[in-house]
A and B are shown apart, each in its own frame.
Chain A
């Protein structure tokens, strides 16, 4: 039986994640109802506007259910806005977050959309998990990781800055693996 991975589909880049997970061979579910969060083998918190996502999650009751699910150890991939939600401390402006990951994050840390772009991860940072094939990075108005706590492992860096981290079963990336043809981040998260 293949695993079922839910993608929070309230607002943002959920379609690309659903497609990427489907290509990996997982069963997928676009999560809108609270009941969709039952019986998942994994969860994706996609990019999008974190302010919009927070309002919808609080209004429709996802917030506490997702908090419990991730804290219980459900494998989770949080990208871009998802990483912002996962961080313990968010600035520019400061906003509420789940705080699963001990780290400080600045929203739109590289600036506005004109500063968005593509690159590769530092090879030595990704070699332990991804071998000699460099990891493609696509940043969209990306958050910037300013500080990483001791319990948080850095899985990828670019120019010496952390762009993907892991704590337990939760992986968070400031870039968008779902918008590239490189599906190794999804496979690493969900096995």
Chain B
């Protein structure tokens, strides 16, 4: 058997569809997430809202904590490394995490280059805000994308913007004439072969999930309706009043996003959501979605 082929990497992303990947900071939270029906967990030391509050440099997590979570749950365990920090990524690979998130939520380690991801055995997920960024990450070997949104805010507005920007652009590509595609590739800074492929198929070559600002079952359903194939929920669960119930409700809403009557039932009596932040009040340096290029 040939392991870690691109098909095997994208295959895991396919299996995570229609599900919720939850940020967890310890084994106790990981168990709550699994019990609620999460299809994977993201192991990190602090959720994005806490990282915002604390400030300072945010780095990859202690391997001990990741191992602890791996031995607690049977679902896939993901972990984050800093943008461009291929040594953190090698450490996560040695730990055999199931997916590495090269994430703007942590402080970037390289201001010019993202990680070359093709020669890793572990698949990568990367954030994007538009089509050019998405295709650059796929060009570097990412097996899964997530629109960035604005992590740690409990505000879905940036996530919506990124989903609409990405999918709107994909639809426009499918309308272009062949001779327009090279100029388009140049303008958005994306590999031509991938631009051509998206124009022909009308979809990205890897799945795209939504992340950043999802705090309610309705937020998750909105992302699914805008074309996301799964959702990542960071601070939205464990910074809320009742994480168990909210986690379960967001899992159900991601499955039944097309059914408003069920969503009404699912959304009932969940207690307070996490406190939200207005994006306009954030300074440029506080906008995590502007990290990466």
Contact = CB atoms under 8 A, between A and B. Distances in A.
Contact of A56 (B11, B96, B255): B255
B17 A12 contact: yes
Interface in B42-88: 70, 74-76
Contacts of A56: 37, 251-252, 255
Given A13-B15, A118-B8, A113 B2 contact: no
B122 to A, nearest CB: 6
- Where chain B touches its partner, the secondary structure class is loop
Contacts of A141: 12, 15, 76, 98
A139 interface: yes
A91 B12 CA distance: 21
Given A81-B15, A113-B122, 17 more contacts: A11-B255, A12-B19, A12-B39, A13-B11, A13-B14, A49-B19, A56-B37, A56-B255, A92-B74, A114-B3, A114-B4, A116-B3, A140-B11, A141-B76, A179-B7, A179-B11, A180-B7
Given A10-B18, A112-B96, A51 B37 contact: yes
A117 B19 contact: no
B121 interface: yes
A51 B123 CA distance: 22
A16 B2 contact: no
Nearest to B256: A32
A171 B18 CA distance: 24
Contacts of B150: none
A156 interface: no
B93 interface: yes
Chain A contact-residue range equals 35 or more
B123 A11 contact: no
Interface in A18-60: 32, 47-49, 51-52, 55-56, 59
A15 interface: yes
Contacts of A47: 14-15
Contacts of B112: none
Contacts of A49: 15-16, 19, 39-40, 75-76
Contacts of A51: 34, 37, 74-75
Chain B CB within 10 A, most for which of A56, A80, A81: A56
Contacts of A32: 255-256, 258-259
Nearest to B10: A179
Q: Which of B8, B16, B40, B76 counts the most A-chain CB atoms under 10 A from its CB? A: B8
Max chain B CB contacts within 10 Å: which of A15, A107, A111?
A15
27 contacts: A11-B18, A11-B39, A12-B15, A47-B15, A48-B16, A49-B75, A51-B37, A52-B38, A52-B39, A52-B75, A55-B36, A55-B37, A80-B15, A113-B8, A113-B76, A113-B122, A113-B123, A116-B8, A117-B1, A117-B8, A118-B8, A119-B1, A137-B1, A139-B8, A140-B12, A141-B15, A180-B7
B74 A118 contact: no
A113 B17 CA distance: 16
B238 interface: no
Contacts of A93: 74
A52 B74 contact: no
A63 to B, nearest CB: 14
A88 interface: no
A179 B14 CA distance: 9
Nearest to A117: B3
A115 interface: yes
Nearest to B254: A11
Contacts of A138: 7-8, 11
Contacts of A77: none
A185 interface: no
Contact of B37 (A52, A118, A119, A179): A52
Interface in A100-154: 107-108, 111-119, 137-141
Interface string B243-283: 00000000110111011000000000000000000000000
B5 interface: yes
B99 interface: yes
